[in-house]
Amino acid sequence: MIKRAHIRQFLAVVETGSFTQAAGRIRVTQPTLSAGIADLERMVGSRLFVRERRHVRLTEAGGRFLPLARELDRNFRAVDSFGVKQEGDWPALKLGVIRSISAPLLRCVLAGLGKAFSIEMVEGSDSELRAALASGRIDVMFGLMRPEDVGEESFAILTEPYVMFVPDDHPLAGKDSVTPEALASQVMVARRSCEILDRTSAFFTRHQVRPRFALRSDSEERCMAMVAAGLGITTAPLSHRQEGVVPLCVAQYDFTRTLGLRADAKWLREDRAAILSAVAQDAAERFAAEGR
């Protein structure tokens, strides 16, 4: 008989793409996880994963089983919460936020959401939060909007470019634009949470720019503070602009991102959709009014 543990193990492997990472996420040993997946495969009568050298991917049967597993997971969660009423029905909204959202922009969004919902917020990467949204572990995601993210569940907030940030007293601070080669001698600060880190690295390598790095950090606040302090320069979305740093355009570095709210279709109702639409519009206006 398929148990809840089998579903948790299966979804953990799907979402991480790794037996090792999946085991860490659900706090079991890797042999326990492998045995559980093997047990599940015996029960469904098909292999669910192809184990490659550096990655694990779903088989055709695994792809067909995935929506069933997600629905089972939702039902298990519904059973857990059945008849349970916490004081104030907290939380009314489980909100996932990608780590690279700037604090001022997040504040503008929370100012609107906080008027309508009690909020439990979790952070993660784009892929982690998309998986959480698909499995019903969060209700709304504030993050990247891909071209295919259209429909009644999506509410765009803003589109912004990625730029180079330099200290406001930097020799390049007064220029409108520079070539990539002009940055060859600069010391950099690496934002590890950046969604285009690989593409940025490839861009500068293509232009034969191989900078030294003074700092590599997951903390957006620390990275930007260190740029303001003169430790180095960094690429970041324009919404990360703050006191002490100025944006600088780099020729041919034309990456952009669109941010917005995406809701779980099963959580979304007409009244909630109206709230999210108003919050998205209000957040964009608030952010623009602050001169960001």
pLDDT band of 282, cuts 50, 70, 90? very high
- Predicted model pTM: 0.72
Q: Residue 166's closest CA among 250, 246, 251?
A: 246
Q: Would you state the pLDDT for residue 91?
A: 66
pLDDT, tens digit, for every residue of 166-178?
Answer: 999 999 998 989 9
**Percent share of the chain, pLDDT over 70:** 96
Q: Would you state the pLDDT for residue 281?
A: 95
pLDDT, tens digit, for every residue of 127-163?
Answer: 889 988 988 889 999 999 998 888 889 999 999 999 9
Q: Would you state the pLDDT for residue 70?
A: 87
pLDDT, tens digit, for every residue of 10-47?
Answer: 998 988 888 988 888 888 999 999 999 999 999 999 99
Give me the domains of the chain, ranges plus CATH numbers: 4-81 (1.10.10.10), 88-158+257-289 (3.40.190.10), 159-255 (3.40.190.290)
pLDDT over 60 (residue 122): yes
Q: Residue 136's closest CA among 81, 205, 86?
A: 81
Q: Contact at 8 Å (CB) between 118 and 92?
A: yes
Q: Return the axis-axis angle of helices 19-26 and 30-44, rounded to nearest 10°.
A: 100
What average pLDDT does this structure show over 266-282? 93
Q: Token pair for residue 280?
A: 């998205």
